[in-house]
Amino acid sequence: MTEREFATIIDKITVLTEKVEFYSEKLDLYKQVSDEKNALLQKSTEEIIN
C-alpha cells in the first residue's frame, strides 16, 4: 500500500467518522423531542381521564 493510498483511506475514515457524529447528534435531538412529545401526550391523557 502506497502512502497516497493510505492517506486516502484515512481521509475516508475521517469523513465517515464525522458523518456518524453528525447523525448521532441528530438522533439524540430526535429522541429528546420524541420524549417531550410523549410526556405531553401522557399529561394530556391523564387530564382527559381525570
Band of pLDDT at residue 27, cut at 50, 70 and 90: very high
pLDDT at 1: 86
Mean pLDDT of the chain, nearest integer: 96
> Chain-centre distance of CA 17, in angstroms?
13
Q: Note the pLDDT of residue 10.
A: 98
Task: Using alpha carbons, list the distances in angstroms from residue 42 to 5, 32, 35, 49, 50.
Answer: 55, 15, 10, 11, 12
Task: Using a cut of 0.85, tell me whether the model's pTM lies above it.
Answer: no
Domain boundaries, the chain: 25-50
